[in-house]
Amino acid sequence: MNERFAPQLIAWQRRHGRHDLPWQASRDPYAIWVSEIMLQQTQVETVVPYYQRFMARLPDVAALAMASEDEVLALWSGLGYYSRARNLHRAAGIVMREFGGAFPREFDAIQGLPGIGRSTAAAIAAFAYDERRAILDGNVKRVFCRIFGVEGWPGEKAVENRLWALAEGLLPDTGIAAYSQGLMDLGATLCRRGRPDCVRCPFADECVANRQGRQAELPAARPRKALPERHTTMLLFVHAGEILLEKRPPTGIWGGLWSLPECSAEADPAACARRFGFETRPLAALPKLTHTFTHFRLHIQPQPLSVARRPARLNEPGRLWLPLADAGEAALPTPVRKLIEQLEAGGGPA
C-alpha cells in the first residue's frame, strides 16, 4: 500500500482534484504564501474572496511591507485568527530587509519567518519550488489517520510524530506539487470530517476506517473540555452620526483591531461613560451576542449610548470617531461589525 499510495494519489488528483483555485495558476511564492496562511484553520470557500481582495490591494511582498497594519487587518477583517495577518505583515518586512524583497528559497529560511510552521513552509516549498517536502495540515492528518488506521488524537505529540514519520515515508520522488495538492483535495472534498464520501475515494478498498466502519472514530477527537464563559459590555457611543472606536492592544484577542469600548458586565454603562468624560442617554438596546473563540466563549451585552455633547477632542491616540456608515470599512472583529451593522440598520442614533 505504501508504495502505491503516492502514484495513486497523483493520478487521482490530476483527474479529479481541484485545479481552478485562484492561487493555483501561479508559482509565485508570495501568492502561495498568502494563500497558505489564509487557509490555516479556514475553509477554501471562505478564503477565496478574501484572497482575491487581498491580492488586488497588495499584489506583492513590497506592497504588503509598505502597507500599514491597519490596512492589512482591514483586508483580513472577518477572516479570524488575526495573528496570522500580523505575522504576515511582519514577515513581509523581514523579506524586504533581510532578503532584498525576494521570498527566500531555502526551507529553513521560509520556516523562520513569523507565522510559518513546518507544514506551511513545506507547502510553499513544494508548490513554488518543487521541493520534496512533507505537509501535515488538519486535512492531511485526517486522511492519514483513516487510511492507515492511526489511533489517538493528532494533537498529542506522540501521535503527531507518528503522522510526520508516515508523511515523510510516503513522499514521491517526483510530482510533489500534484501529490501535496492531492492530499489537500482528498481531505477537503472526499475524506471530510463529517459525511466522508468513501464511495468515490481512490483508497476505499485499502482504507482502515472504511473497511472497519470507523470513519467517525478516526481520527480520534480532541479530549472534551468545557469552555470558560466570559461576559462583557460593549459601549456603542454615538454622536452626530459618528461612533467611537478603540484600538485593541497589539497582543491578545483581536490584537491591533479597532473595537468598541468595554466595561465589566456588572458595571453601570452610564458610569463607564463618565470615565470617558461623556454624559449620555441610553438608546434602544441591541440583542446580546455570543462569540466562541478556541479557548473560551464570550457573551457580549451591547449598550448603545447617545453622547449628549460633542467631545472637545474628537480623536485621541487609540480612539477614533468615524461616521456610522464608514465604520464597517475599519479593521473590526466580526462581532463588533455585526453590532455596528445592527445599530445602523435600526436607523442609527436619533
Residues labelled catalytic: 36
Strands 297-307 and 280-282: antiparallel
Whether residue 13 contacts residue 178, with contact meaning beta carbons closer than 8 Å, is answered with yes
Q: What φ, ψ does residue 304 adopt, rounded to 5°?
A: -70, 140
Q: Which helix (H) or strand (E) holds 237?
A: strand 229-239
Distance CA 47, CA 69 (A): 20
CB 258 within 8 A of CB 250: no
Q: Which residues contact 323 (CB under 8 A, 6 or more apart)?
A: 241, 242, 243
Cell of 93: 518586512
- For residues 69 and 83, is the Cβ–Cβ distance under 8 A? no
- Contacts of residue 314, Cβ cutoff 8 Å, sequence gap at least 6: 321
Cα–Cα distance measured from residue 36 to residue 87, given in angstroms and rounded to the nearest whole number: 13
Residue 13 CB burial class (10 angstroms; 0-12, 13-18, ≥19): buried
DSSP string, 290-316: EEE-SS-EEEEEEEEEEESS--SSS--
